[in-house]
A and B are shown apart, each in its own frame.
Chain A
Amino acid sequence: MEDNQNSAPGNVPATKLGGARKGIEPGLNASKRLQTELMQLMTSPAPGVSAFPSADGNLLAWRATIEGPDDTPYAGLTFKLSFEFPSNYPYAPPTVLFRTPIYHPNVDFSGRICLDILKDKWTAAYNIQTVLLSLQSLLGEPNNASPLNGEAAELWDKDPALFKTKVMDRHKDIEEDE
């Protein structure tokens, strides 16, 4: 039978056939791509970051965790993030938010992030893992040239001790049991 006969979206149970079909064409289907990414994350996890689809099983909404890198004010803290993927992912960047309150020059108080690769510099070559690793490194090396949080950008250079205090004040582990 020709492939086109049954490849209509939703026609095929993603878990069953999706993996079995060889070669998942990136971009053809965001869910497929995300499933592949999940597989990669699970088989070769990067230290300090992890991500997983949200508990309701919606593949287009993920939750992620970043551990604050050592030698930064965020050492020892963990941050939760949410990813919302557009249906044309990976051709458009996901919307990424910090759910854990964070005091950081490039993150505003509602968790929005100013990071070029999540905006105009996004390419389909990025994936969840690279985004998480970029964010992790952003924690240690904020881009103070374009701050969302001006105070933090100032303090980062002027008063690291106060910065650290602010970070600790702001940080609060969120309990996310539904």
Chain B
Amino acid sequence: MPTMVAAPWQNRRRRVFQSVFQIDLSQPTPQSTPCVRFPDQGQPFGGPATSAAALAAGAVSTLSGSQSTILAEPGPLSYSSQPLFPSLAAVGDDQVAYDRAWHVVTARIALPPSATADDSFGTLAADSQQHPASQQAPFSSDAEFFQALTLIVHAPTVLPRATHTDDIVAWHAQQVRAHFAQHVIPLLSGCVDDNGDESRHEAGNHYERHMVIVMSSIRTLEAALRLYFYGLGLLMRGFGRLVDGSGSEAAAAEAELLATRFRRDIHALVGNSASEELMKSVSIVLARLAGTILGIPSVDGAGVDPITSRRPAPPTDDDFRALAARQRLHEIVEQLHSVGLAGERFQVLFAEIMESIMSKFVTGAYVGVWAASSSSTRSVSAATNTISRMPNPSSSSPCILALSDWVENHFARLSVEILSRVSPDPSSSPVTLSDVKTYQSLALGRLAALRISELFDIALAWPSSQGALDDLRATITTTARRLQLTASFSRALQTRLLHPGCSTLEILRTYIAIIRTLHALDHSKVLLGHVESSLQLYLCQREDAVRIVVTGLLASPEELRLAKKVKEAAKRQHHEKALSGAFMTPAVSRGVSRASPSTTGRRRQDSTPNIAVQDVPDDQQVLSSSSSTLVELALILNDPSQARRNAGAAPDISGADDDLDWADMGWVPDPVDAGANYKRPRSEDVIGTLISALGSEDVFIKEFASVVAGRLLGEPARFDQEMRVLDLLKRRFGEAALQNCDVMIKDVQDSKMVDGAIIRAREAQVGGGAGRAVLSTPVAGGREAKGEGETEPEYHARILSRLFWPDLDREHFLLPPPIVDYQRWYELGYEHLKSKRKLTWLNQLGQARVELELEDRTVTVDCSTVEATTIYAFQGADDGSGKPVQRSVEELYNELQMDEDLIAEALSFWANKGVLKRISQGVYAVVETIDAGGAGGDGPEPGSSAGGGASNEPEVESPRKASGAAGSSAGTLSAKEQERRAMYWQYIRGMLTNSSASMPLAQVSMMMKMLVPDGFPWSGEELQEFLGSKVASGELEVIGGKYKLVKK
């Protein structure tokens, strides 16, 4: 409600009221009206007449009730009262004397009844303060006032019969309250409103606007308070005189007490009646100023330069902005305090502001700042070593040091400054040393919360996030925080990692990072144990997990080299970024390591031209290759520090209990949240953790064997990497568990010798067609080759010990006759060499080099034996008609007795090589000339076999195995698979016999998944197909969508 409108209305209302009741509401002496007062015993009635006259004069003055103030009116009153005093005392009409004295005093200190505008309000107050005496001198002198005051104060003794007395100070307080409510509060709300209206247009500068509100409010209040304290001052001066006169110390003290109480009341009044809007403005102004002082960049800063707005940082000593803000804040706080706005509400407000500034500072300054501590130059492994040595580094990370410093030197300092200004008791320091410690621990708690929320990204960024881990380790000190950490981390895992959108490789890679991160954080592994169970469960659903781990372990040295390079490049780039001061988000750092390898490579090249250009494609290649293999594992496996630790762990296994290592200076007690059977792990043991997460060692070793088998049958002649990995794994799992792999490697090595021996024997007695020796023990595996008449093809075999190799499927097909011959003599040679043993050929696991002489070109291809056999069949089919040879899948199937899928695969392989082309569904023809093949396709290109018998001449040089055992082609069932199916059939029969006579597919599938050990890998479709085959063979029937055993 605008004051301007309100004031006239109030006046009018008062006038109406007065015309009826003839009483001024603000009449200073309501209790002493004549009608309520009777003369005391023996008193003549003369007295009242005079007093009535005086009162009538007062009434006249009130009736005249103009806008002029009472202060301007007391003329007649004073005149008449002047002579009255002695006479009053003389006649002993104490009450009347008291009333008069009361009136004199109150008239003097009465407040202006209205104050309609800032100006009049202000000037009035100023005047009253500056020349209080001169203004009123003609009417009521100070002497008179003090005399009256003396009367009032000493009423009980001087005027013993004045029964109606009152406390002048309380009256003044009452007056002040009414005045404040009637006039000042509307003014204050006017300040807020007016400014609100104005600044609605000039959006943006909120701070300025609120500053205006605060300042104008303060000015208003100051003026009002000056007014109030003027009255009080008068009273006090009066008291002072009294005291001087009486010399009573107690009275002085009492007066002082009264004054203090009055001040306190007024401040409480102001503080409690300050509007929400005003307090809001105050808080905004305070927040802004305190923020500037403490180095929090302002949010609304249009004019703030972008660099400083990046991150909060403690201002330097000579930062003039901070200095100015500090001064401004001091002024404002002092003013607020002087007008009484610095009460409890202010302190709560201030506490809230400081709290939010602390949060802002911690989040703003340290989010994403994970740089390692000063020792960032240490190698990663060295860093982890150090960490495991010193479990409780009190000399913590730069973040913590900086934060503590900030709290102590800025945060606490500001608190001291502000609180001491508003503190009612200036002698005691408002902030004690222990308070500072509390602030610091609060700040560290916030840092911990921040790091906890970032932990997932920290793990991803490992090891460049060492610093953040140091922070965490130093701040995670309570069990509650540990729980918070694991809970929040588990949630992050669920939402960010464990969903179908992440590849198994990515999950494993993250898992490794998590293992290392949490180990660095808490090398007792208890934290890790808390978070990883969901991860492990999830990994169990990923069937390729074990394979990825194994291939990662076996990553070739080239891959390692490349991976290292990439890492360095990434690190370098990380550094560059860090140096440039750019803010690195976790997302960006992830991108560096995998998501956008090509751009990083490029960018690096741009920024550092001294890097050899040739490197770049290399790196990129690495990046792509490293992204498909879990090279991290191989890196860890090859890490000498890891190896050393493993070696160190070995005697541990043999029984030495490290709890008994009395000399271990790094010993710490087990974490409180460790489980009952908790056993202290020795190292971070990434590989061990990963392997145990994937189920059991058995599964792992099985997979390892099958991968190694594939590699052993493959190209490279040396198996250094495999041997080394094998050695490392032996150390972990023990000799016995990996015996199979030993045998496999030995087989391959022996094969070379045997092979050499057989070939030498063959050369010695060429054409020695010895009779077939039928020998008993079948020994697995071999290799085939094929060759053409005149040129003697080379033929080598690898001899595998069946029992020790993973199941290698036998694929049946007919080899080209020349190769069969070779096989036969090889077999004989072997049986000759090792009596009692026999070879079983695994024809499909070979490799052949085929040389095809076509009309216009010669093609040399390294291919699998299946492909070689298939193309060989085209040679045999040359009918001499002069047309390109055409064969259909069906013909080849009959001729080679090979699986149709394999044939189709082989045909499309040759079609890709440009040797064959597809004529129609399942029919392929030889492309004798490129033109013909490329041009039309259907034109019966001539010359094909015109080239004579030489058209296709596969020449096999070195047969070898190609595809790994595990990668067996579809279509055929291994013995193992047959066995499995038989077992499943047992289950299904048992189920339908006992559990329920008929079951729908879904239920069968559910039961199987639940009951088959090692898991039931079939999908619903596969199971349906299987059940369908049983229906077809008459063992099952389907009734109403449910499967049922056929009753016999």
Contact = CB atoms under 8 A, between A and B. Distances in A.
A25 interface: no
B986 A20 contact: no
A111 B205 CA distance: 89
Given A12-B537, A39-B1013, A1 B693 contact: yes
Nearest to A8: B533
Given A5-B675, A13-B537, A55 B990 contact: no
A42 B1014 CA distance: 14
Nearest to A2: B679
Contacts of A2: 525, 529, 675, 677-679, 681
Nearest to A24: B1013
A18 B1007 contact: no
Interface residues of A, number: 43
A176 to B, nearest CB: 6
Interface string A1-41: 11111100001111111111110000000000001101101
Interface stretch (A44-52, A102-110, A138-146, A153-161): A44-52
B868 interface: no
A31 B536 CA distance: 21
B993 A65 contact: yes
A55 B1003 contact: yes
A59 B1007 CA distance: 10
B529 A5 contact: yes
A35 B1011 contact: yes
A128 to B, nearest CB: 11
Nearest to B1004: A55
Interface string B689-703: 100110111110000
B738 to A, nearest CB: 15
A42 B986 CA distance: 6
A50 B696 contact: no
B139 interface: no
Given A16-B1015, A19-B1014, A52 B993 contact: yes
Interface in B638-690: 675-679, 681, 688-689
B753 interface: no
A11 B532 CA distance: 12
A98 to B, nearest CB: 14
Nearest to B979: A43
Given A15-B1012, A45-B986, A57 B1006 contact: yes
Nearest to B992: A52
B995 interface: yes
A42 B990 contact: yes
A50 B1013 contact: no
A70 interface: no
A14 B1013 CA distance: 8
Given A2-B529, A20-B699, A175-B997, A52 B1015 contact: no
A163 interface: no
A63 interface: yes
A16 B540 contact: yes
Contacts of B990: 38, 41-42, 45, 50-52
**Interface majority SS on A: helix, strand, loop or mixed?**
mixed
B689 A1 contact: yes
B1027 to A, nearest CB: 16
B995 A54 contact: yes
Contacts of B1006: 57
Given A6-B533, A63-B995, A20 B675 contact: no
B996 interface: yes
A178 interface: yes
B817 to A, nearest CB: 43
A53 interface: yes
B679 to A, nearest CB: 5
B1011 A55 contact: no
A19 B536 contact: no
B540 A55 contact: no
A51 B994 contact: yes
Contacts of B675: 2, 4-5
Contacts of A1: 525, 528-529, 532, 681, 688-689, 692-693
Interface in B916-965: none
A101 to B, nearest CB: 17
Given A15-B1012, A20-B1014, A64 B994 contact: yes
A18 B695 CA distance: 9
Given A2-B679, A43-B983, A52 B695 contact: no
Contacts of B1016: 15
A85 interface: no
B1014 A177 contact: no
Query: Which of the four size classes fits the interface of chain B?
Result: 35 or more
Nearest to A80: B994
Contacts of B1007: 53, 55, 57
B993 A19 contact: no
B219 interface: no
Contacts of B1010: 14-15, 57, 59
Given A5-B533, A42-B990, A45-B986, A176 B996 contact: yes
B873 interface: no
B832 interface: no
Interface string A55-79: 1010100111100000000000000
A22 B698 contact: yes
B695 A20 contact: yes
Contacts of B528: 1
A70 to B, nearest CB: 16
B998 interface: yes
A52 B991 contact: yes
Contacts of B1011: 15, 35, 38, 53, 59
Contact of B1009 (A15, A17, A36): A15
Contacts of B986: 42-43, 45
Contact of B1013 (A4, A5, A15, A59): A15
Tell me which of A5, A12, A59 has the highest count of chain B C-beta atoms within 10 A of its own C-beta.
Answer: A5
Contact of A42 (B533, B537, B987, B998): B987
Nearest to B533: A6
Interface in B533-565: 533, 536-537, 540-541
A67 to B, nearest CB: 10
Contacts of A43: 983, 986
B999 interface: yes
Interface in B969-1026: 983, 986-987, 989-991, 993-999, 1003, 1006-1007, 1009-1016
B995 A52 contact: yes
A55 B1013 contact: no
Contacts of A51: 990, 994
Interface string A133-176: 00000000000000000000000000000000000000000011
A22 to B, nearest CB: 6
A16 to B, nearest CB: 5
Given A2-B677, A6-B533, A55 B995 contact: yes
A127 to B, nearest CB: 15
B841 to A, nearest CB: 31
A39 B1014 CA distance: 11
A177 B996 contact: yes
A55 B996 contact: yes
A2 B1004 CA distance: 35
Contacts of B1009: 15
A18 B1015 CA distance: 9
18 contacts: A1-B688, A1-B689, A1-B692, A2-B529, A4-B675, A6-B533, A16-B540, A16-B695, A19-B1013, A21-B696, A36-B1013, A38-B1011, A51-B990, A52-B995, A55-B996, A57-B1007, A63-B996, A65-B993
Given A15-B1011, A22-B698, 8 more contacts: A1-B681, A2-B678, A15-B1010, A17-B696, A35-B1011, A45-B990, A53-B1011, A177-B998
Interface of B: 525, 528-529, 532-533, 536-537, 540-541, 675-679, 681, 688-689, 692-693, 695-699, 983, 986-987, 989-991, 993-999, 1003, 1006-1007, 1009-1016
| CB-CB nearest 6 A-B residue pairs | A19-B1013, A52-B994, A63-B994, A55-B996, A20-B695, A52-B990
